[in-house]
């Protein structure tokens, strides 16, 4: 949950550019000021994939000053 549409879209684009499909949920799909990223995991994901996602996500969140 980022709450900010622009930041959510920036993070989505950074993740997509790194090879991750993490949809950005924003109004009207979610209420105003409730923009978010929807991360879906399954048992077929490997630990190295999860580690790469978390590393990229942290970098993206920091670049948007959300961490």
The model's pLDDT over 36-57, given as tens digits with 9 standing for 90+, comes to: 999 999 999 999 999 999 999 9
CA distance 34 to 3: 4
> How high is the pLDDT of residue 67?
85
- Note the pLDDT tens digit of each residue in 12-33: 999 999 999 999 999 999 999 9
pLDDT, residue 64, reads 93
- What pTM did the predictor assign? 0.89
Q: What angle do CA 52, 56, 61 make, to 5 degrees?
A: 145
């Amino acid at each position: 949950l980022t709450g900010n549409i622009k930041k959510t879209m920036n993070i989505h684009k950074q993740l997509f550019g790194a090879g991750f499909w993490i949809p950005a949920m924003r109004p009207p799909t979610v209420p105003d000021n409730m923009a978010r990223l929807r991360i879906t995991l399954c048992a077929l994901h490997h630990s190295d994939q999860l580690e790469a996602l978390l590393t990229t996500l942290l970098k993206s969140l920091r670049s948007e000053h959300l961490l």
